[in-house]
Amino acid sequence: MTIGRITWRRVLAVTLASALSLSIAACSTARVPIPPDDATPEQVVQAYADAVHARDCKTAEALVNDRGQSWCGSIDITALKVIELTQERKATDSGQGPMIQRVWLTLRSQGGDISIPDGDHTWSYLLDRTGPNGAWRIYDQGTG
């Protein structure tokens, strides 16, 4: 009887350990590296989209000035393709501000809401140099 009981306990222990390992793996996210300070606006946007897709919210939030701008955890972004890069002045309360970059792209969203429903969209991200050492960071986004 003791041998049967020990075997049963081992099977139970192995089963529980396997289940725990699988649940941890299912909850883990892939880490997306933060681009270097000299990365282009396009590289920053691509890293942000990769982080949102991987559910790496730490990286996604590091690439936006305001965490409220991050979609991480609420929407998925795939099929990203940059179509144009424009340079313009940032509008400020006191008039014209510093030069910014607008990255125009097409993307596919999943899990969206009324502001960006599921499907293909033309979208833009506005970036300014507010990151470490003047790195480009996303401060706004939208259709225009």
**pLDDT tens digits along 49-89:** 999 989 999 999 999 987 666 778 778 888 788 899 999 88
Residues 97 and 109 placed together within one structural domain of the fold: yes
Q: Tally the domains of the chain.
A: 2
Tell me the residue range of the domain where 21 lies: 1-30
**Residue 123 contacts by C-beta under 8 Å, 6 or more apart in sequence?**
104, 105, 106, 107, 116, 141, 142, 143
Please tell me the predicted confidence (pLDDT) of residue 66.
78
Q: What is the CA radius of gyration of the chain?
A: 22
Give pTM, 2 decimals. 0.72
Residues 48 and 99 in one domain: yes
CA 20 to chain centre: 27
From first CA to last CA, the distance across the chain in angstroms is 74
Kindly state the tokens that stand for 104: 């125009």
- Confidence check: pLDDT of 131 > 90: no
Q: Quick one: CA torsion of 7, 11, 14, 18, rounded to 10 degrees? A: 170
- Rounded mean pLDDT of 95-100? 80
Confidence class for position 18, pLDDT limits 50, 70, 90: very low
Residues 40 and 108 in one domain: yes
Q: Please state, for a pLDDT cut of 70, what percent of the chain lies above it.
A: 77
Label residue 41 by pLDDT band (50, 70, 90).
very high
CA pair distance 37, 23, nearest whole angstrom: 36
Same-domain pairing of 80 and 98: yes
